[in-house]
Amino acid sequence: MAITLNSGFKMPIIGLGVWRMEPQLVKDLILNSIKIGYRHFDCAADYKNEAEVGVALKEAFSTGLVKREDLFITTKLWNSDHGHVLEACKDSLKKLQLDYLDLYLVHFPVATRHTGVGTTDSALGEDGVLDIDTTISLETTWRAMEDLVSKGLVRSIGISNYDIFLTRDCLAYSKIKPAVNQIETHPYFQRDSLVKFCQKHGVCVTAHTPLGGAAANTEWFGTVSCLDDQVLKGLAEKYKKTPAQIALRWGIQRNTVVIPKSSKLERLKENFEVFDFELSKEDMELIKSMDKAYRTNQPAKFWGINLYA
């Protein structure tokens, strides 16, 4: 299954996110996921494993496991590179060993002090607060993103972690409309208004953290996972699936792209097995009632400032 973006290109509705994937595990995980059927991989400069992803992709292509045109590869512009978009994109392409990206996203709607292309540490001031660069507008960043399309380096461009207001602004000033807005959304954080706004205006929504971050976000941010909720557990029993499969199927039936992350082969398989059943309208409504407006990915922990406040 795939969603046709406003750029005309097709984006597989399920992908594999490589955030927090240990570099030494990346190669085997990507090659195994391709064998399972994954054709969409979600990367970012900030994940610090683009080079390892590139090694895996090169092997997949050279051995005939898959062709480049069969894959959909996303990566993202880090906050400190808003004033160096072309250089940052080329750096990611070099690490990924690719000639073009299927999708390039503005990772967060904030420019921070430049620390050098390829370095993605969060630049903090002496006060321990994120050092935001107030001289670079998001429109300036977007113009540079549009140039990447005209140069043939990127097929589609998009945004990430943008709210309704910032998305509306981007739609207003863009010559090339954002194809995607990648946001945190899961049964505990449904963001129905933002999802509806984007879809109404032809912007595909990709759900990062579609399972609520599970154990990883509990460890990093002290948050709880929707997968432990009795509603999902009950539906899992009803459909003879796992709570994770129920959450992913719910995301797909909302017409959002889902990019779960896992470093376990059995979970990779499990997360991909969501096309052989369909949630009823009543059960979709039941999951809708789970919404707690509960964000689990909280970068304020690292930035000393809450950009969502």
What positions carry a catalytic annotation?
Answer: 47
First to last CA, the chain: 36
- The residue assigned the tokens 């004033």 is 83
Give alpha helix (H) positions in 63-163: 85-96, 138-150
- Nearest Cα neighbor of 49 from 24, 85, 23 is 23
CB 33 within 8 A of CB 17: no
CA distance 16 to 10: 16
CA distance 179 to 260: 20
CB 20 within 8 A of CB 261: yes
- The CA-CA-CA angle for residues 217, 283, 13, to 5°, reads 60
CA distance 148 to 144: 7
